[in-house]
Amino acid sequence: MKVNSESILKVNGLTKSVQLEGKTLSILQPVNLQVNAGETLAIIGSSGSGKTTLLSILAGLDLPTSGEVYIKNHPLHQFNEEQRSQVRAEHVGFIFQQFLLINSLTALENVMLPAELANIENPKEKGIELLKLVGLENRLEHFPSQLSGGEQQRVAIARAFISQPDILFADEPTGNLDTKTGKYIADLLFDLNDRLGTTLVLVTHDPKLADRCARKVEMDSGVLTEASITSDSVVNANIANDQNAQEEPNNTTANNEKEEGAVCPT
């Protein structure tokens, strides 16, 4: 996977708080982060620490309370819902733990939908091609209720890749799957990510999955810190609240210890 110094995601002083029963609940402390094109980043941390909240804001699904979020120089924090949805359609893919397919649409229609919304040419051909890539060419007309969990997540992966996103966010994509199916889904995700040159930001509880990313950050009670850095990953996250943190962008190549590609459809 090629990594270059082009910033695809930049976050400055991002916070999130909500009003709950008249009190302010602070979910995210000032978060600073930069992710460069082609990077693979794992966000780890215990349940309730703020990972999903952060990912939703990074992907333009939610707004921060304060601070800045740029996807490819688009200031999401200044954009309204329509503008953010345009950025999402052009640049962003998202995979959820619960798959979130549309139950009334077939596998193929689910995959085609983002392409149709983004006016991408030949959505049907592209959808079929992607469903073949995830090993579901015999399930095109199946509805989500007729698919196993692993199959539903493979449809969701095909859907996430159809608009050729620059950056893919995955929130515990294997969290609802058994170990074997989870491994297959992870292989598929990293394989497609590698092939299509996408940047990957992955939230996971699974240390093995996190280890497959070139870089890891950890969320603890809304505070994001660099968890561990491999020697050749791009070093660019600030430690939250560390006013003296120096940014030192590297121009290097990420080295995933990628396991063999996906081989056993589940």
Ligand X SMILES: Nc1ncnc2c1ncn2[C@@H]1O[C@H](COP(=O)(O)OP(=O)(O)O)[C@@H](O)[C@H]1O
Q: How far apart are CA 194 and CA 105, in angstroms?
A: 29
Cβ atoms of residues 31 and 224 within 8 Å = yes
Least distance from ligand X to the Cβ atom of residue 197, Å: 27
Structure tokens at 109: 């229609």
Least distance from ligand X to the Cβ atom of residue 81, Å: 17
45 or 114: whose CB is closer to ligand X? 45
Q: Which of 44, 12, 3, 4 is nearest to 245 (CA)?
A: 12
Residue 163 binding partner per list Mg ion, ligand X, none, with a CB distance cut-off of 5 to 8 Å that depends on partner kind: none
Among 36, 53, 198, 238, binds ligand X (CB under 6 A): 53
Among 30, 38, 50, 182, binds ligand X (CB under 6 A): 50
48 near ligand X, rule: CB under 6 A: yes
Angle at 41 between CA 200 and CA 80, to 5 degrees: 60
25 near ligand X, rule: CB under 6 A: yes
Least distance from ligand X to the Cβ atom of residue 1, Å: 26
Cβ atoms of residues 180 and 265 within 8 Å = no
Q: How far apart are CA 62 and CA 140, in angstroms?
A: 32
Residue 48 binding partner per list ligand X, Mg ion, none, with a CB distance cut-off of 5 to 8 Å that depends on partner kind: ligand X
Least distance from ligand X to the Cβ atom of residue 49, Å: 4
Tally Cβ neighbours within 10 Å of residue 121. Answer: 7
16 or 77: whose CB is closer to ligand X? 16
106 near ligand X, rule: CB under 6 A: no
